[in-house]
């Protein structure tokens, strides 16, 4: 596993990576990968990883990996073909020349060797083949047999002891990648080996893998420009020299050949733009019309049109009845002064309590079958004086519109003139 050491780095420079190994058990490769990613993301030191890039080989179907990631409840990831991840890392590191159009990927891992011919610019795999003719596990077994046969070491019968012995043989092999001799002590004896003897043990398998690479290149129908060495097994110095002699191509050995695919996937994952969080629209609360009606307005005075609408809401049925009376008077002729007819309405009237006064009040009837409301004067011990004749009142409407309002109809101030 690889993560970028710093999210930002200089353009053209090789970015720094952190690497981490996770102890896993045997199982389907997709489940092992998904579980390992889950372990990494649960670490506090990697909680700020924006996205995860997963490099997969041609032997693994993307749907299988998607299902494994879903079982681990992982969602923010990006599946990257291994060939595309490797080419991306090599281009970022500046290890590919502009004329390198066809690239051979020689991947020597623990269980086998995979040779892939890929188009550098389209990332198209032109030919690929995997074989177990060579691999790290086979090299470890060859060293263990040599130690038992030539040096007289006893092969342990216990499972754990046998695994410990094989691990020391692997450590000796890894020491010979950088040194000329290796010595690894243990309970079953000292594993002692030099590079010359080790290369004699692994030469035949490595030559078989070089022959495999030549056949895959021929099957691709292209003339490659460069060979890239991948996997921990290519640290063995004999690998580069044998491939150079068998293929006659330029060899690229990255600083961390076993991490190239993971590092390329990390670069492609960080190139993904983070999703923009969607802010849900807030629902507007239902206005409290009663509170709005009871709150005095502090804004500038409304226009005449707004004032007429507001008056209609405040006056309620009174305005409707008054307009109906005025329009009806045109058909039936002028009514006698002091008499009031009640218009029919279909909406229940609003009841308003008023202080008693000497002015007669009128209440509209709730339906057409109810008796007409009439002016009821207050009863006193003396005969009432005749009421003064009121002057005509008209609705406050623009000229030439004039609607006369009966004198006993109560209207809000400002609606008559």
Flag the least confident range among 1-5, 234-238, 342-346: 342-346
Q: Which of 214, 212, 253 is nearest to 235 (CA)?
A: 253
Reply yes or no on whether the pLDDT at 320 is more than 60.
Answer: no
What are the tens digits of pLDDT across the range 67-97?
999 998 888 888 999 999 999 999 988 899 9
Contacts 24+ apart (CB under 8 A), 294-303: none
* φ, ψ at 212 (rounded to 5°): -60, -45
Flag the least confident range among 287-291, 340-344, 359-363: 340-344
Flag the least confident range among 30-44, 140-154, 326-340: 326-340
Asked if 81 and 56 touch (Cβ cutoff 8 Å), the reply is yes
Show the tokens assigned to 15.
């970015």
User: Residue 393 — very low, low, confident or very high, per pLDDT cuts 50/70/90?
Assistant: low
Q: In whole angstroms, what is the distance from residue 202 CA to residue 134 CA?
A: 8
Flag the least confident range among 8-22, 106-120, 178-192: 8-22
Reply yes or no on whether the pLDDT at 142 is more than 90.
Answer: yes
Q: Which of 136, 258, 280, 149 is nearest to 202 (CA)?
A: 136
Average pLDDT along the chain: 75
* φ, ψ at 118 (rounded to 5°): -130, 145
Q: In whole angstroms, what is the distance from residue 397 CA to residue 309 CA?
A: 13
Residue 67 has what pLDDT? 92
Flag the least confident range among 4-18, 175-189, 368-382: 368-382
Q: In whole angstroms, what is the distance from residue 147 CA to residue 173 CA?
A: 12
Q: In whole angstroms, what is the distance from residue 49 CA to residue 284 CA?
A: 37
What SS3 class is residue 416?
strand
- Rounding to the nearest 10 degrees, give the CA dihedral for residues 209, 215, 219, 222: 90
Reply yes or no on whether the pLDDT at 231 is more than 60.
Answer: yes
What SS3 class is residue 117?
strand
The whole-number average pLDDT for the span 193-213 is 95
What SS3 class is residue 59?
coil
Asked if 316 and 350 touch (Cβ cutoff 8 Å), the reply is yes
Q: Answer yes or no: pTM beyond 0.75.
A: no
The more confident residue out of 326 and 32 is 32
The more confident residue out of 7 and 387 is 387
User: Residue 300 — very low, low, confident or very high, per pLDDT cuts 50/70/90?
Assistant: very low
What are the tens digits of pLDDT across the range 264-290?
998 888 654 444 445 555 555 666 656
Reply yes or no on whether the pLDDT at 248 is more than 90.
Answer: yes
Cβ neighbours for 220, distance < 8 A, ≥ 6 positions apart: 102, 117, 126, 127
Residue 372 has what pLDDT? 45
Residue 12 has what pLDDT? 46
Show the tokens assigned to 51.
């996205």
- Rounding to the nearest 10 degrees, give the CA dihedral for residues 134, 140, 145, 151: 130
Show the tokens assigned to 277.
């969080």
Q: List, in order of start, the domains of the chain with CATH numbers.
A: 1-95+257-273 (3.30.420), 303-332+393-417 (no CATH)
Residue 60 has what pLDDT? 80
Reply yes or no on whether the pLDDT at 259 is more than 80.
Answer: yes
Flag the least confident range among 17-21, 88-92, 120-124: 17-21
Residue 251 has what pLDDT? 96
The whole-number average pLDDT for the span 96-121 is 94
DSSP 395: B
Flag the least confident range among 24-33, 56-65, 120-129, 407-416: 407-416
The more confident residue out of 393 and 215 is 215
């Amino acid at each position: 596993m690889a993560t970028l050491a710093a999210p930002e780095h200089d353009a053209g420079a090789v970015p720094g990576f952190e690497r981490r190994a996770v102890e896993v058990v045997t199982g389907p490769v997709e489940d092992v990968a998904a579980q390992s990613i889950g372990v990494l993301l649960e670490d506090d030191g990697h909680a700020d990883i924006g996205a995860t890039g997963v490099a997969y080989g041609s032997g693994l179907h993307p749907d299988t990996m998607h299902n494994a990631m879903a079982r681990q409840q992982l969602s923010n990831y990006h599946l990257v073909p291994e060939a595309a991840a490797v080419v991306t890392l090599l281009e970022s590191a500046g290890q590919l020349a502009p004329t390198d159009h066809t690239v051979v990927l020689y991947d020597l891992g623990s269980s086998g060797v995979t040779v892939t011919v890929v188009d550098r610019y389209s990332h198209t795999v032109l030919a690929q083949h995997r074989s177990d003719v060579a691999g790290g596990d086979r090299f470890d077994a060859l060293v263990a047999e040599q130690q038992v046969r030539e040096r007289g070491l006893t092969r342990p019968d216990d499972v754990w002891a046998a695994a410990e012995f094989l691990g020391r043989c692997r450590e000796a092999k890894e020491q010979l990648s950088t040194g000329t001799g290796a010595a690894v002590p243990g309970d079953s004896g000292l594993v002692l080996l030099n590079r010359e003897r080790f290369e004699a043990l692994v030469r035949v398998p490595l030559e078989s893998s070089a022959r495999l690479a030549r056949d895959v290149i021929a099957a691709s129908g292209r003339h490659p420009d460069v060979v890239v060495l991948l996997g921990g097994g290519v640290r063995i110095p004999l690998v580069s020299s044998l491939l150079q002699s068998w293929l006659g191509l330029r060899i690229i050995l990255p600083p961390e050949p076993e991490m190239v695919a993971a590092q390329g996937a990390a670069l492609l994952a960080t190139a993904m733009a983070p999703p923009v969080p969607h802010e849900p629209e807030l629902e507007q609360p239902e206005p409290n019309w009663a509170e709005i009606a009871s709150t005095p307005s502090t804004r500038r005075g409304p226009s005449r049109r707004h004032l007429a609408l507001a008056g209609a809401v405040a006056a309620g049925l009174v305005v409707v009845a008054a307009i109906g009376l005025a329009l009806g008077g045109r058909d039936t002729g002028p009514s006698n002064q002091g008499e009031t007819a009640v218009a029919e309405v279909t909406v229940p009237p609003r009841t308003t309590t008023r202080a008693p006064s000497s002015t007669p009040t009128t209440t509209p009837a709730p339906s057409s079958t109810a008796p007409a409301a009439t002016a009821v004067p207050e009863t006193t011990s003396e005969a009432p004086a005749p009421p003064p004749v009121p002057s005509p009142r008209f609705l406050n409407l623009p000229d030439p519109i004039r609607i006369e309002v009966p004198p006993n109809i109560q209207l809000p101030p400002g609606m008559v003139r």
